[in-house]
Amino acid sequence: MSVSKHVLENIREDLFEDMFDHGPTVGLDIGSRATKGVLLADGAATAALEASGVSNRETADSVLQRLLDAANLKRTDLACLVSTGYGRITLRFDDIPSRILTEISCHAMGAHILNPATRTVIDIGGQDSKAIRVEPDSGKVVEFIMNDKCAAGTGRFLEKVAQLLEIELDELGNCALRSSHPAEISSQCVVFAESEVISLKAGGVSREDIAAGIHLATARRIRSLMRKIGLEPTVLFTGGTANNPGMREALEEVLEVKMGDSSLDATYAGALGAAFYAGRFARERQLSYGNYI
């Protein structure tokens, strides 16, 4: 659980023109593993993250309250709230003007705000992975492809491998960076890959080399997605694994492209995009309770 405040820098002034004149807005990204929130007010972004619990509503309320406490605001002060992500359809806010948006649109806009040069977004979440082509002038989605049918190439896959290697998930990326000879993981299926990891452990292959091999196998899975929509720099890496240095390095090696920089922790890209759209809805006076788009 964490809360942090950031001054928004290097943002497009035309994109945020009079955005903050209509009151504070919040974006909530309800992921399968973590819930992220961003509150936009007075040119600053307050960000909060909490592990997703059994009840999406309770977790969302908890993250929202953390954001409000950090900004010294009340729920009635909010001009609009937008929910996105895996659990977005379960949320209702009767006391706050609110909307629901797809995570594809929110991630694309969030990435555009974090780095206005972004043309391609790679997002590896807990239960799915996404590749999104972004229109560089507007931040809108040009094309996207999503893997949500198989655990391979997702954060859940990396989490399972960390358990097999008996290390914390947060340590898996740095463990991979210490490898000198990454193990060859040939299986694209998470079940068979799990068997490969067990066999490699039994064969005496080091934890570091197995971790590196798994990250490269995940990156190759992402490459197969990218081939379907094309890859155009600048590429921004977002989602729950965006802070995994081993995954970032594997993606750069397999895709032969350097990942772009982000002005804020890219884990919050979806929530930031949602908060931005909440501001746009407030400005356009098109609010209505419980609408779906």
pLDDT at residue 292 greater than cutoff 50: no
To the nearest whole number, what is the mean pLDDT of the chain? 86
Q: In the prediction, which pLDDT does 12 show?
A: 65
Are 274 and 82 spatial neighbours (Cβ–Cβ below 8 Å)?
yes
β-bridge mates for residue 128, sequence order: none
Are 172 and 161 spatial neighbours (Cβ–Cβ below 8 Å)?
yes
Retrieve residue 8's tokens.
């928004």
Percentage with pLDDT > 90 across the chain:
53
Q: In the prediction, which pLDDT does 286 show?
A: 54
- N-to-C CA span, the chain: 30
pLDDT at residue 19 greater than cutoff 80: no
Surface-to-core class of residue 188, CB atoms within 10 Å of its CB (0-12 exposed, 13-18 middle, 19+ buried): middle
Digit-coded pLDDT (tens) for 168-198: 999 999 999 999 999 988 766 666 777 888 8
Retrieve residue 293's tokens.
């788009």
Bridging pattern class, strands 34-41 and 25-30 = antiparallel
